[in-house]
Structure 1
Amino acid sequence: MTVTLEKPTSAWLANELDGNHRPSRENVVVAASQTLVDGSVISLNSNGQAQIYGGAENEVAAGIFVGDAVTTGAGETGAGVYVARNAKVVSENLTFKSGLASAKKTAALADLAKLHITTVRSA
């Protein structure tokens, strides 16, 4: 599965690793029962599928979903792309799971920093 994005860079993405075929990005299967929008902070489930980061015990933020929104129903998967490494993002423009506590958001940003996805201040 390969997903190609033709749309311009999003407001949350300040800079990413440039080069052949956007080396900071990965294609991903979107897990069942998910709605991921451009800028959603994601984690990967035990099957390696993207899901909205929820801050569960031992859950690790894996990147940021990029592109058109993908909604999957129960038992169905979708296709998407996420920024997996080497990027600078505007944290105020990221999308987190509704109701996620500030401490969990901070933990997610720390996880992303380990992937060299760091934050910058908005202009």
Structure 2
Amino acid sequence: MFSLREPNTKLAFEISELRKKYAEFEAKNIEVEAENTKLKQDKKEVEKTDLIAKLKHDVSLIKEQNLRNKSNGYTSEQILLSQRESDRMILEQVENNSDNTSDTSDVETQRVSVLTEYSDL
């Protein structure tokens, strides 16, 4: 019986060491998951910021085109048709981007912002 106590003690010690290592790995895994979540959120914010900048740029191009159209003598009806087509394209871009993000309230806010700015033409 004495001969089994020593291996049993060694095995109990090894088990406790393995439990410590497992706890360390679990803690590290939690840290990595938290960092991964933060990076995903940061990426979404950058994508939203990029989309807003692109949409604002598109609006400025549309405004410039409208000014050129007016100076070239296009009728209001022709300009309005052009604006509607541009609106449709912008909304498609926003909706396509909203499919890639889970936060649709921000996309709706962007859409209203773009359309409000665009309606000031």
Q: TM-score surpassing 0.5?
A: no
State the TM-score, normalized to the length of structure 2.
0.27
If each structure's strand is expressed as a fraction of its own residues, which one has the higher value?
1
Larger radius of gyration: 2
Q: Which has the higher contact order (CA 8 A, sep 6+)?
A: 1
If each structure's helix is expressed as a fraction of its own residues, which one has the higher value?
2
